[in-house]
Amino acid sequence: MFYALFGLAIALIVIFITQPVNAADLNNGAKIFNANCSACHVGGNNVIIANKTLKKEALEKYGMDSLEAIKTQVTKGKNAMPAFNSRLSPEQIEDVATYVLEQSKKGW
């Protein structure tokens, strides 16, 4: 009995550790993007600063090709981009950042 419970406890720990604690919701990220970002970034472009798009090559060129970099940009803003930390929750920022990164990999 002890070994069975011990085995179950180990299995649950392994499952818990290997699962993302706060997995992003791409569908929610798309909704947030469309409601808050698409006016300036429709199709991954940038209507304010044309060369700073959300496309993979531009994200790589400007060091924005990681989830943390995108989350920081969305949270704090930079240059012409406003900060969204007062409009979006940390979970929403995680979702939209993940959506942007995934879309960049797909070529928008």
Q: CA-CA distance, 65 to 46, in Å (whole number)?
A: 16
* 95/2 Cα distance (integer angstroms): 42
Domains and their CATH numbers in the chain:
24-106 (1.10.760.10)
For residue 103, pLDDT over 60 is answered with yes
pLDDT tens digit string along 41-64? 999 999 999 999 999 999 999 999
Distance CA 4, CA 86 (A): 49
Contacts by 41-48, CB closer than 8 A, 24 or more apart: 43/108, 44/103, 44/104, 44/108, 48/80, 48/81
User: Tokens standing for 65?
Assistant: 């090709």
- pLDDT value of residue 23: 80
Count of residues for the chain?
108
- Position with higher pLDDT, 37 vs 3: 37
